[in-house]
């Protein structure tokens, strides 16, 4: 039972609920006989605001080019940055809205959304305004992330880019937050060899934390950088990727209750070694999942992500579901309101046309004929007429 304010009023056995609410009237009753009701899925890591797709790079990857080789040839992030800088705010909003709608149809009701294809202040703010517009106008939860340190801009050194972010970008974000124009939740840095080193990453993340942003950053993806150790030290809420994390980094994250946001699509697309999900779980790390939706890993679907996590990272289906709901919500600082079906939490639900919830993971790519309803704050935002 979901109240008018969008929060869950009661959860329980059908006969108990019927007796308890026998005198109540409802705007809508959905018969879920023979079906499963699940928490709305939470996508803990996406890059959904950009222009200019990179379908041509897929062939380069298939021919054996590495991520950094494509990057150094003018592709990768810089190709997308060039097109995003030229795009109007309206163009970016239109494509972003369409992508969010596809995420909703795949069961996502809360999505982390990053900037990061601007790299200059003007374009980063344009991207963050687009995310803010979607927050205000669409029936989907959004946690917004400033990721101006996604790459070193052309013509700048990493040190110059770091100074620009700390001295110009972050003060402007603080100002816009105070005026109510833009509300950013998280700060992100791509801590990587040849991008932002550990010390630059530390300076940017600390400066973001100082203006009230949660630390939630890219670390230990292509090379071991000791990002996990740094994140634990700084009190990071979450670190993403972690394909090259050290054993000490895993232990440090467990002690600090810093979530590991694992991205099975990235390891799959780039043919990287898989993140050590089993070791993290055994060490007590809070493991979350994200789609890493971006021009390099074009996946909207958390059910597909959960399937890949089970097959390639050896997670159980129970672990994958928790990682795509309550743990992903935790990674965004939202586990008190999202990620599980509990009294008082937000009424975000997914109803599937099966008596066993495992079908959502088992049917690889089959969610389009399986998800019947997606509900946000008690409101049906997607109803699948084909089911």
Between 59-73, 74-88, 235-249, the lowest mean confidence (pLDDT) is in: 59-73
Percentage of the chain lying above the pLDDT 70 cut:
100
Instruction: Give the list of residues 6+ apart from residue 374 with CB closer than 8 angstroms, or none.
Output: 40, 104, 105, 107, 109, 349, 350, 380, 381, 382
Instruction: Please name the residues in contact with 6: beta carbons below 8 A apart, sequence gap of 6 or more.
Output: 346, 347, 376, 377, 378, 379
Q: Is residue 180 scored above 90 in pLDDT?
A: yes
- Please compute the mean of the pLDDT values over residues 229-236 and round it to a whole number: 98
Tens-place pLDDT, residues 318-355 = 999 999 999 999 999 999 999 999 999 999 999 999 99
In terms of Cβ atoms closer than 10 Å to its own Cβ (0-12, 13-18, 19+), residue 301 is: buried
Domain locations in the chain as residue ranges: 7-37+347-383, 41-51+87-332
Range 98-126 average pLDDT: 98
What value does the mean pLDDT take over residues 141-148? 98
Domain boundaries 41-51+87-332, CATH class? alpha beta
pLDDT more than 90, % of the chain: 91
Region at 76 (left for phi over 0; alpha for psi -120 to 50; beta for the rest): left
Each residue of 205-231: b (16+ CB within 10 Å) or e? bebbeeeebbbbbbbbbbeebbbbbbb
Nearest CA among 35, 37, 28 for reference residue 3: 28
Q: Which of 70, 45, 74 is nearest to 58 (CA)?
A: 70
Q: Quick one: pLDDT at residue 58?
A: 86
Task: With cut-offs at 50, 70 and 90, classify the pLDDT of residue 61.
Answer: confident
User: In the prediction, which pLDDT does 73 show?
Assistant: 78
**For range 66-87, the mean pLDDT:** 87
Could you give the 3-state DSSP secondary structure of residue 277?
A: helix
More confident residue, 68 or 360: 360
Q: What is the pLDDT of residues 156-176, one digit of tens each?
A: 999 999 999 999 999 999 999
Contact 106, 46 (CB under 8 A): no
pLDDT reading at 74 higher than 80 = no
CB 354 within 8 A of CB 35: yes
């Amino acid at each position: 039972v979901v109240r008018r304010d969008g929060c869950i009023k009661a959860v329980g056995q059908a006969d108990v609920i019927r007796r308890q609410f026998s005198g109540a009237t409802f705007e809508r009753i959905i018969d879920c006989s023979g079906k499963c009701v699940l928490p709305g899925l939470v996508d803990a890591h996406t890059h959904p605001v950009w222009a200019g797709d990179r379908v041509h790079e897929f062939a380069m990857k298939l021919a054996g080019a590495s991520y950094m080789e494509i990057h150094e040839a003018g592709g990768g992030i810089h190709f997308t940055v060039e097109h995003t800088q030229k795009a109007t705010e309206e163009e970016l909003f239109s494509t972003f809205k369409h992508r969010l709608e596809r995420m909703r149809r795949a069961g996502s009701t809360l999505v982390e959304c990053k900037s990061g294809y601007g790299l200059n202040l003007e374009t980063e703010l344009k991207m963050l305004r687009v995310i803010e517009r979607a927050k205000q106008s669409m029936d989907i939860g959004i946690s917004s992330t400033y990721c101006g340190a996604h790459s070193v801009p052309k013509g700048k050194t990493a040190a110059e880019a770091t100074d620009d972010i700390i001295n110009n970008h972050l003060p402007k974000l603080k100002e816009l937050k105070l005026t109510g124009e833009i509300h950013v939740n998280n700060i992100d840095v791509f801590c990587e060899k040849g991008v932002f080193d550990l010390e630059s990453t530390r300076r940017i993340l600390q400066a973001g934390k100082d203006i009230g942003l949660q630390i939630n950053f890219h670390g230990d993806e292509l090379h071991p950088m000791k990002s996990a150790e740094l994140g634990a030290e700084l009190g990071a809420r979450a670190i993403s990727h972690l394909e090259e994390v050290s054993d000490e980094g895993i232990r440090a994250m467990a002690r600090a209750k810093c979530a590991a946001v694992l991205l099975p699509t990235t390891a799959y697309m780039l043919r990287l070694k898989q993140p050590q999900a089993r070791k993290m779980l055994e060490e007590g790390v809070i493991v979350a999942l994200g789609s890493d939706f971006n021009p390099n890993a074009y996946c909207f679907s958390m059910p597909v992500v959960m399937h890949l996590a089970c097959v390639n990272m050896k997670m159980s289906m129970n672990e994958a579901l928790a990682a795509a709901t309550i743990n992903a919500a935790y990674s965004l600082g939202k586990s008190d309101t999202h990620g599980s079906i509990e009294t008082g939490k937000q009424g975000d639900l997914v109803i599937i046309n099966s008596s066993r919830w495992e079908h959502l993971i088992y049917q690889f790519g089959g969610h389009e004929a399986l998800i019947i309803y997606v509900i946000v704050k008690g409101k049906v935002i997607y109803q699948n007429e084909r089911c």
